[in-house]
Chain A
Amino acid sequence: MKSSIPAIVGKEIVHILRDKQSLFMVLTMPVLMLLLYGYAITLDMQRITIMVIDNSGTPQSRELIRHVSSTDFFRISKVDSGIHDINTLFQSRMALCVLFIPGDYAESIISGRQADLQLVIDASDPNAASFIQNYMGKVTSEEMIRRNGTEAGLFSVEPRIFYNPDMRSAPFFIPGLIALILILISALLTSIAIVREKESGTMEQLLVSPVKPSQIIIGKVLPYTLLGFVDGVVILVLGSLLFDVPIQGSFLLVACMMVIYVVTGLSLGILVSTISQSQSVAMLAAITLTILPSMLMSGFIFPISSMPRAFQYFSRIVPATYFIEIIRGIVLKGNGIAQIYRQAAVLLGIDIFLITVSIRAFRIRLE
Chain B
Amino acid sequence: MRRIIAVVRKEFRQIRRTKAYIGIIFIAPFMQLLIMGSAITNEVKHIPSAVLDLDCSPHSREVIEAFKAVNLFDYLGEVQSRQEATAEMDDGRLKLVLVIPRHFERDLSRGIRPGIQVLIDGVDGNSAGISLGYINSVLAKVQHDWVLHTAGQSTASINLIPRMLYNPDLDSTLNFVPGLIGILLVMMTTMLTALNIVREKEIGTLEQLMVTPLEGWQLIIGKIIPFTVLGFLQFTIGVLAARIIFAIPLRGSLPLLYAMVGLFFLSTMGLGIFVSTITQTQQQAMFVAYFIIIFMLLLSGFFVPIQNMPIFVQYLTLVNPLRYFINVLREIYLKATPFRYLWREAAAMGSIGLTLLIGAALRFHKRLG
Contact = CB atoms under 8 A, between A and B. Distances in A.
A154 B146 contact: yes
Contacts of B297: 291, 295
Contact of A306 (B41, B125, B175): B41
B170 A188 contact: no
A19 B283 contact: yes
Contact of B174 (A47, A126, A303): A126
Interface stretch (B206-214, B225-233, B302-310): B302-310
B282 interface: yes
Interface in A146-196: 147-148, 152-169, 171-172, 184, 188, 192, 196
Contacts of B125: 43, 164, 166-169, 171-172
A155 B157 contact: no
Nearest to A144: B158
Given A113-B156, A292-B36, A311-B35, A280 B283 contact: no
A296 B162 contact: no
B170 A128 contact: no
A357 to B, nearest CB: 18
Contact of B118 (A159, A163, A192): A159
A285 B32 CA distance: 13
A339 B91 contact: yes
A42 B199 contact: no
Interface stretch (A2-10, A20-28, A212-220): A20-28
Contact of B304 (A43, A91, A124): A43
A202 interface: no
Given A164-B123, A169-B125, A158 B118 contact: yes
A13 interface: no
A234 interface: no
A155 B59 CA distance: 12
A295 to B, nearest CB: 7
Interface in A258-299: 276-281, 283-285, 287-288, 291-292, 295-297
Given A112-B156, A159-B132, A281 B20 contact: yes
Nearest to A37: B298
Nearest to B157: A114
- Interface size, B (range): 35 or more
A339 B191 contact: no
Contact of A130 (B21, B119, B170, B331): B170
B17 to A, nearest CB: 10
A184 B187 CA distance: 14
A117 B161 contact: yes
B305 to A, nearest CB: 6
B185 to A, nearest CB: 13
Interface stretch (A135-143, A224-232, A344-352): A135-143
Contacts of A161: 120, 122, 128
Contacts of B330: 124-125
Given A42-B304, A160-B118, A165-B122, A25 B191 contact: no
Interface string A27-67: 00100010011011111111110000000000000000000
A210 B147 CA distance: 85
Contacts of A93: 341
Contacts of B135: 157
Contacts of A108: 156
22 contacts: A21-B279, A22-B283, A33-B294, A39-B313, A40-B309, A42-B304, A46-B307, A90-B166, A90-B335, A91-B331, A91-B337, A126-B170, A126-B171, A130-B170, A158-B118, A160-B120, A167-B125, A277-B18, A283-B290, A305-B74, A306-B42, A311-B39
Given A124-B175, A159-B120, A305-B45, 7 more contacts: A33-B291, A87-B165, A108-B156, A112-B155, A157-B116, A157-B139, A285-B20
Interface of A: 19, 21-22, 25-26, 29, 33, 36-37, 39-48, 86-87, 90-93, 108-130, 133-134, 136-137, 140-141, 143-144, 147-148, 152-169, 171-172, 184, 188, 192, 196, 276-281, 283-285, 287-288, 291-292, 295-297, 301-303, 305-308, 311, 314-315, 325, 328-329, 332-333, 335, 339
Interface of B: 18, 20-21, 24, 28, 32, 35-36, 38-48, 74, 86, 89-92, 104, 107-108, 113-130, 132-133, 135-136, 139-140, 143, 146-147, 154-168, 170-172, 174-175, 183, 187-188, 191-192, 195-196, 199, 279-284, 286-288, 290-291, 293-295, 297-299, 303-305, 307-310, 313, 316, 330-331, 334-338, 341
